[in-house]
Amino acid sequence: MSRIMIDCPEAGGPVYTHLNFEAFDWEAIPVGEREIECPRCGRMHVWRRADAWLDEDGGRG
């Protein structure tokens, strides 16, 4: 599984969205707009698939 990440637009750096998907599942699901309370800057961010990237787990298993 990979963690779905975004970059904080305020503070920069990766933010974990609390979503986990295999890459091929991630490509298939509808994402729409999602909100996350950002642990880096404390604000709410709205993000879409285009903002997200997968943090691969290194391929174990």
Say how far apart CA 29 and CA 11 lie, in whole Å: 28
The footprint of Zn ion on residues 42-61 (CB under 5 A) is none
Our finding on whether 10 is near Zn ion (CB under 5 A) is yes
Residue 38 contacts Zn ion per CB under 5 A: yes
CA 41 to chain centre: 16
Instruction: By CB under 5 A, name the one of 5, 19, 36, 41 that touches Zn ion.
Output: 41
Using rule CB under 5 A, residue 8 touches Zn ion = yes
How would you write 1-29 as a 3-class SS string?
A: CEEEEEECCCCCCEEEEEEEECHHHHHHC
Q: Does 5 bind Zn ion (CB under 5 A)?
A: no
Residues in touch with Zn ion (CB under 5 A): 8, 10, 38, 40-41
